[in-house]
Structure 1
Amino acid sequence: MNLLNWLEEWFARNCDGDWEHSQGIRISNLDNPGWSIYINLEGTSLEEAVFEPLKIERSEVDWVHCNIQKMIFRGFGGSRNLQELLDIFKQWTESLESK
């Protein structure tokens, strides 16, 4: 399953008539340029999960930073790192679901 299909499935599994109205997923661009993703974990099986902050600095345009603050998975990265950010979320999620 490709990454976008996986994210659609994860989103659909968490839609309960309420979560998607007040929580959900936000993908946006940064002006430096880059990407940001915010995935609200409140009301999901991940709301209490621990994520060790991640910071990868390969170059000024190739970087990713991920953490959780207030039950929101937050990912930031360079202009060509969107897929990597989503993959980090996917791998973390799948590692917890397999336990």
Structure 2
Amino acid sequence: MALPVPSVDEYFEFLASWYVAHCDGEWEHEFGVRIETVDNPGWNLRVDIIGTEMEGRIATRGRREFEGGGWLIVESDGRSFEASCDAMSLRLAVQEFKKFVDTE
């Protein structure tokens, strides 16, 4: 399976807008969005969904493998959304968060 090539700006703009929309003077002091590197190498995106309209929404852990060694793991425990991916797939992790938000 080939890696899809979405517009990077569209997804990162969505993530930033989502974050700003949930900053209410309180939420952002305890919760937020974190993007970190992992040692395989890759990325981890974690978005707290406590105190948002998505609190309690569960997504069963899923893993996708891509041609060329790419991978993506996504899940939500109802308290946070988490996506881990290879070093070249960060945009896909953010895209998965957008899909999670857009799914009811």
With the length of structure 2 as denominator, give the TM-score of the two structures: 0.83
Larger mean CA deviation between 62-71 and 7-16 belongs to 62-71
Q: Distance in 2 between matches of 1:74 and 1:48?
A: 14
Whole-Å separation in 2 of the counterparts to 1:36 and 1:93: 18
Q: What is the percent sequence identity of the aligned residues?
A: 26
**Any gaps of 5 or more consecutive residues in structure 1?**
none
What per-residue deviation string (whole Å, max 9, x for no partner) do you get for residues 34-93 of structure 1?
A: 000110000000002122322112367400001113611111000011000000110121
Partners in 2 of 1:29 and 1:46 — Cα distance? 25
TM norm structure 1: 0.87
Structure 1 counterpart SS, 2:58: coil
Structure 2: which 5+ runs fail to align? Answer: 1-8
Change beyond 3 A, Cα 1:42–1:57: same
Secondary structure at 2:52's aligned position in 1?
coil
Does structure 1 residue 86 correspond to structure 2 residue 94? Answer: yes
Q: CA RMSD in A?
A: 1.7
